[in-house]
Structure 1
Amino acid sequence: MKDQWMDPAWRGWCGTAVEQVRFRPDHAAIARELAAHLEDHRADLERLGYDRSLATERTLRAMGDPVAVGRALDRAHKPALGWLWKASRWLVMLVLAVGLLTGCSAVWNRQLPDVAAWLDPELVHSWEAYQPQSFQRLTCPPPFRTGAYTIEVEQVVYYREEELRRGNLSIDLRSRTLKFWLEGPALGENLEAVDSNGVRYTWYQYPYVGGSGPNDGHFQNAMWISVSGTEGTPAWIDISHRTAGWTIRVELPQGEEGTP
């Protein structure tokens, strides 16, 4: 036994006893229990007037053969039962960890109040301050599932540049997933769009559709999509993700079907 806390008088006897126990993870606890019992017995003898060396000798003799004691302990600490107990503890820890992660995700996904908005209420309206007065909030498409993510459209804004006679669409989205190790979905060049007039929008040329790349917000990621250069008065725009296969439709204000 190498336990520095144990009286040297007990190490040989306790070491022999615990070596008989096959379930080694219990060795340290068994040694402590045996040493405590030895200490108590010796203290009782010393109170009766025995000197320390004689009390130690009588205590070891009273405890008996360490091999026999160890074998009796082995029957009480069977390896199968020991590993079953440890496995059950690990399982409980795993369940608690999953529950904690799920709980954190649930709290996070309820969108806690914006601290920046508390510190500076004017920030709440900063987006509107930089937009043309003609911008309009449109109806958001419903949330949808794609792979490991749930994606929610939080805001859709449409505004026209009257001098250029063209419209622009700005969409704020949020992806959520319990798989916190994943990056957010990649948008960007994976997007394409078409409006009710048959005009196609691509990543690499005008009229244009684009979006944010992946980010590492873990449980949730804020994303955006921008569509620029709508002409005429299309009734709607379908925005699609080429690799993930999803499509969302945005109904435009006062839209009229035109001629492709």
Structure 2
Amino acid sequence: MSPLFAQFCEQVCLMIRWKAARGPVADELAAHLEDHAAALEARGLDPETAARRAVEAMGDPYALGAELDRTHPPTVPRLSLICLVLGLLVLLAGLGRGLHVAGVAPQAPELPSGAGYTLVIEGSAAGGGILGDYTFTPSRQAGLAQAWLGEYEIQLPLTAVSSRPWLPSPHFTALAASYTDDAGGSGSCSLWAGKSYLLGASGMLLIAEPTPGATEFSITLSAPTGESIFFTVTLDQEVPPS
């Protein structure tokens, strides 16, 4: 196992109080990381960069560990290994990091989004975290899309998940978002809500007319309460001139 993967799994498992669950959790996470890294290597990335991108796409290890701990607290009856693994698969699906359960766990929108848009530059996303009762997670894939009239737009699919199905769907449009990039640009982002699911909702974060030459975008997502979380979008190539 890659040292980066081992470190990430260890950080996740530190948040899990039920010691018997830590081994299966680490194995499941490592499998997801290895699959993602292999897919990135197939796109031409070197193994070290692919491993780093795979870890970044998983988000905050401590937030993920806290979610897993809530699913498998030490006070619940000791489940069999099969039930534990199935439960982990469902939770990872809800976090948008693996399999998806239709109608239950949110599935991030496909790219490109919007009529007439074409995905012209692929990229990856990292970050996320908890705002209020929801864990916001970026899709593994982000990118630069181009409309048929030539306008460019950064598109970042998101999911918002709660472990409590009785909560209402999160209101993406009530959140505020802004960005800075590595080419000196900055501005506001727009958000729209996608589908609603039992455990949350999907949505999309958009940056219109990104700065030519930029490849990395640092995004702040804020709730009306003042809480904030952060994302990073990294493109495989520079944004071309409009």
> Hey, which of these two has a bigger chunk of strand by percent?
2
Which of 1 and 2 has higher RCO (CA within 8 Å, sep 6+)?
A: 2
Structure index of larger Rg: 1
TM-score normalised by L of structure 1: 0.42
Structure with more helix by fraction: 1
TM-score scaled by length of structure 2: 0.45
